[in-house]
Structure 1
Amino acid sequence: MRHFFVLFIFGILLAASSCRTDFDTTASSGNLKFSKDTVYLDTVFKNIGSSTYQLKVYNTSKKDISIPVIQLKKGLNSKYRMTVDGMSGNNGKIFNNVTLLAKDSLYIFVETTADITDANPTDFLYTDEIQFDSGANLQKVALVTLIQDAVFLYPQQNPDGTKEKIQIDGKAVDGFYLNETDAVNGNELIFNNTKPYVIYGYAGVPQNKTVTFEAGARVYFHANSGLFVDKNASLKINGAASTSSKLENEVVFRGDRLESLYADIPGQWDAVILADGSTNHTINHLTLKNATIGLSIRNQDATTVQIKNTQIYNCSQYGILAQNARINGENIVINYSGLASLSCIYGGDYNFTHATFYNNWSSSQHFAVHLSNRLAGATPETKDLTKATFNNCIIYGTSTNEFNLDKSANAQFVYQLNNCLLKFSSTNNSPDYQFKNDPVHYNQIILNENPKFYNASKNKFNIDKTSAAFAKGNQAYAIPLDIIGNARTSPPDLGAYQSKDFPK
């Protein structure tokens, strides 16, 4: 019986200790350690929430301590919000009597949503600080965020409470048509470089109108957003060559998450759609990144889309998806696309000169260039590919074969590669891929030799004299200046870049 009595007493003591919710702690002495002394929250647009940033707080002593208060200096008026070890405190601003065990740490997560009016008018920084304790034991960690002003374009609310929509491919999507006499923004059909633009939903260009993007314009698309150029409407992108890596004169299209974490994430927004029947498009010095489809070009029967000095990166499906289109492309670079960097389907007429089509998507099912004269489910299912010409180009990537032909005998399929460096490594006895003995389709092909790009994973496609593409171009096809304005030599290099010293 005595053994049972001892076990009974031990159980009571164990239960009592397990239910205890307080600790014997001492007050913080101001000797906390921090993972950083300043938390820099990346640039955000006004009134758009930031990502969440982390601060770690350490108790290096051998005693359990109680921190009397952890709070934002601006208190309940602060535009920052915190959680402290999963606790929300008083509106995420003030936390009282926070316990931190000996040799332990806690996490603080910080985010913000602020207006440009909250920021310092001279540098547009919004600042605050996290305070730990007070008086002689006060410790601080600074918080800094750059708030960027912008022009916001978005669908309006209808009188019945629904959101404004436009029709794309027979479907109603959240969107609006740009207005050249908008009461707030003025002429929305002209995008300048005074402020960046943030677009929610699809911005539509009305029929018979032209949207113009001036040199240096910056356009940021929210998730599920894009640009739609309607029937008989036109797109004019008038960028210019830049002198620095800031691309100060380029027109830039990208997602609206400015944090460095999102810099290279594909699929953050939808596409630029040049609709069936839209016309007279010119694109010069555009940098487009992080879309689902960069440029979706449909049925340009009447006019040729002119694309020059353009870079398209990190698209989850296609860099350019052309469907029965007409394109003349010069000095184009496309990389990192989930399906194909360039896909020309359902026929069309294409001419590309001094272009670099690369694809380093992680899947082996991608291509740098895909050509087809068919479209499953269409009526008719095939259309003539009247021309697909590639002159002085590089078609390369990390897959075994980066060039793909999908031919139907029911329509024309006319193509030719002249003075191109091509990746096609597998054994293939198809008559369509006879690169060395089919002069109708292939002339002066350099097969499977390394172009030695400066850093393809970072979209730097410059080459030097060690590249297999060096001085291998045909002068008859040469474009006088490369994508960044360098003069080409004779004979020219293949691809969009003329060889020079690598950038620093």
Structure 2
Amino acid sequence: MRYSILLLVVTFISLTSCRKDFDTKPSNGQLEFSKTTVYLDTVFTNTSSSTYTLKVYNRSNDDIHIPSIALGQGDNSKYRIMVDGMSGRDGKGKYFENVELLAKDSMYVFIEATASIADAKPTDLLYTDKILFDGGSNQQSVDLVTLIQDAVFLYPERYPDGNGGYTYEELQIGSDPSNTIRGFFLDDTELTFTNEKPYVIYGYAAVPPNKILNIQAGARVHFHDQSGIIVANTGSIQVNGAVSTNPDLLENEVIFEGDRLEPGFAEVPGQWGTILLTDGSTNNSFNHLTIKNATVGLFIQGQDATTVQIKNTQIYNSSNVGILARTGKINGENIVINKAGQYALACTLGGTYDFTHCTFANYWTGSSRQSPAVLLDNTYNDGQTLYFADLTQANIRNSIIFGPNNLEIGLNKNNGAAFNYDIENTLIKFNDVSNQFGNNPLYTSIKDASNANVISNNQAANDPKFKNTGKNNLRILLGSAAIAKGNNTFIISQDADGVTRTSPPDLGAYQHLP
């Protein structure tokens, strides 16, 4: 038996040694490519791009080798390529020799770029190069194009740890010295964000005590993974956006989003952390602000005696909560929230709240959502202890609370603290299928005729007719049940787009247009 096995092995070796897989011919300039130009989406200066893919085909019946594959600018190129799993000469990803490609086969070329604004053409800020396949008369090429965007980078300091690595500047959260997060305090020269360049933040940028972070109209702020802004005790953040004349450019809107600029990341939730207003922060205000793709859009941990002013603000694609407040004080006008993994709005551990002409919707598609769009709660459970505090007031007026779930309003009262709320002239999704709340006084008041709420007990009844929930467009169309159902007593004269409201006004953050 051993001799039979040995004979088979010898036969296999002799056959494979006669194969002609590696008797290749030089490429004759007939390669085909999946793209003639590879556009690497916008990157910030000196920040590495995502990896892009080019596929190279040998349609011929011959096994070939490509004598050379190189970047046009050679070792000076700001691009790097990997060819069929190889990193090239000296591992630099710039030059490759005699790359084999079998008949009727293909291979992948992976492309990245790290370039500065100084490398780009000043006229259009494009940085370009080519991948050259072969040379002379057989040479073929694929163009590479990247838009470089200049930016202001803000990040924590790092220090050598003596072991070849680094330690990073950290911030203490709360009174426990062991509760830290990677971050840094903004200095006085960094406390005004303008619209001249975008800002890119790594880690948490903290507003120091007794300082104000002023964010001007049209500013763009991008956050890296696990990054955000923290406003310290007695510190303030004031976002001063304004109405835009161009709905596509939103030139005066302030935008907070992640630092991945590729189109594939434009609507991905949870790319960065949160805007955290710590207990004792003061005089915080947000106007014409869009917050996209955070974990929690705004996290309000109580304040001093002042009230957070949130006006004409949109919060989309939060992986957890759009606005999360614990014993917060909020005055909200023309707020729009959509697509949150848990709640669009969660007012917990009591607090004081006034929301007028707001649209709280939750058309989350990432997973099954059990929580309602809006939660009012006078408790908070940290997993070990149940805390409760007075819900002094929670007024929601001339608004919309909606989504695909049967019950999009949640009320949770602990008798150990006050629970005061008033929901009037609001379109509410409240489909009590099993009549579980039929005799619950917390909910019966919502349906009381004196509050003039518009109750939707299924998807078709009293439909707000949002324009496009999938694209976070919660403007209402003709035929909406929200049209002219508002109370003039609570009217905000202009909607979130700056459109003058009619009398009686439409419910929610937007006035409908004919």
TM-score by length of 1: 0.93
Distance 1:310 1:21, change over 3 A: farther
SS in 2 for 1:433: helix
Residue matched to 1:476 = 489
Q: Deviations over 1:263-292 (max 9, x none)?
A: 111111111111101111111000111111
Percent of residue pairs bearing the same amino acid type: 55
Asked if 1:77 is matched to 2:76, the reply is yes
Which has the larger displacement, 445-454 or 300-309?
445-454
Deviation at 1:158, TM superposition (A): 4.9
Contact residue 101 and residue 107 of structure 2 kept, 8 A: yes
**8 Å contact from structure 1 (residues 204, 227) kept in 2:** yes
AA matched with 1:447: S
SS at match of 1:381: strand
Query: Is 1:172 matched with 2:185?
Result: no
Match of 2:413 among 407, 411, 417: 407
Distance in 2 of aligned mates of 1:265 and 1:304: 31
- 2:319 maps to 1:316: yes
| Corresponding letter in the other structure for 1:296 | F
CA distance in 1, matches of 2:227, 2:409: 31
Query: What is the aligned partner in structure 1 of residue 284 from structure 2?
Result: 281
Shift of 1:445: 2.5
Aligned match of 2:63: 64
Q: Are positions 1:434 and 2:444 aligned together?
A: yes
Where 2:466 maps in the other structure, the secondary structure is: coil
Tell whether the 8 Å contact from 1:301 to 1:325 is kept in structure 2 after alignment: no
1:122-177 deviations in Å (ceiling 9; x for gaps): 22111111111111111111000111111111112358663222112332211111
Structure 1 residues 392, 18: CA separation in 2 closer, same or farther (over 3 Å shift)? farther
Are the counterparts in 2 of residues 163 and 174 from structure 1 also a CA contact under 8 Å? yes
> Map of 1:172-211 to 2, 5 A cutoff?
172-180=180-188, 187-211=189-213
* Contact preservation (8 Å) 1:435, 1:445: no
Bigger mean CA deviation after superposition, 10-19 or 78-87: 10-19
- Residue 451 in 1 paired to residue 464 in 2? yes
| 1:112 shift after superposition | 1.1
Distance 2:8 2:328 in 1: 83
Alpha-carbon shift at residue 391 of structure 1 (Å): 0.8
User: Which string of whole-angstrom CA distances, capped at 9 and with x for unpartnered residues, describes residues 297-324 of structure 1?
Assistant: 1112401111000001111111100110
Is 2:14 the counterpart of 1:16? yes
Cα distance in 1 for partners of 2:326, 2:389 equals 10
Gaps of 5+ in 2: none
Separation in structure 1 between the aligned mates of residue 98 and residue 12 of structure 2, nearest angstrom: 27
Q: Is the 8 A contact 1:364 1:400 kept in 2?
A: no
Task: After TM superposition, give the deviation of residue 254 of structure 1 in Å.
Answer: 0.8
Partner of residue 261, structure 1 = 264
**Match of 1:328, SS?**
strand
Which residue identity does 1:433 align to in structure 2?
Y
Amino acid at match of 2:362: N
TM-score for both structures, normalised by structure 2 = 0.91
Taking the aligned partners of 2:335 and 2:140, their CA distance within structure 1 comes to 53
1:438-494 Cα shifts (integer Å, max 9, x gaps): 367x43323242211111111111112121212222222111111011111112111
Distance of 1:233 and 1:159 partners within structure 2? 31
Aligned amino acid, residue 63 of structure 2: D
Deviation at 1:63, TM superposition (A): 1.8
Cα contact 2:154–2:202 (8 A) shared by 1: yes
Taking the aligned partners of 2:54 and 2:386, their CA distance within structure 1 comes to 60
Distance 1:97 1:69 in 2: 6
Shift of 1:11: 5.0
Alignment of 1:214-253 (within 5 A): 214-244=216-246, 245-253=248-256
Query: What pairs with 1:65-144 in structure 2 (closer than 5 Å)?
Result: 65-90=64-89, 91-144=92-145
The letter of the residue matching 2:512 is S
CA distance in 1, matches of 2:94, 2:447: 73
- Paired residue secondary structure (1:457): helix
Are residues 158 and 85 of structure 1, via their aligned partners in 2, closer, same or farther at CA, if it must alter by over 3 Å?
A: closer
Moved more, 153-162 or 298-307: 153-162
Contact 2:423–2:446 (8 Å) recurs in 1: no
For the structure 1 residues 76 and 439, does the alpha-carbon distance in structure 2 shift closer, same or farther, using more than 3 Å as the test? same
Structure 2 SS opposite 1:16 = helix
RMSD of the alignment, in Å? Answer: 2.1
In the alignment, residue 369 of structure 2 is paired with which amino acid?
A: S
Mapped partners of 2:304, 2:456: distance in 1 = 34
| Distance of 1:319 and 1:470 partners within structure 2 | 25
Contact 1:156 1:164 in 2 (8 A): yes
Q: Distance in 1 between matches of 2:355 and 2:211?
A: 28
Cross-structure match for 1:490 = 503
CA contact (8 A) 2:402 2:408 kept: yes
Matched residue SS, 2:489: helix
Q: Secondary structure at the match of 1:136?
A: helix
Post-superposition offset of 1:22:
4.8
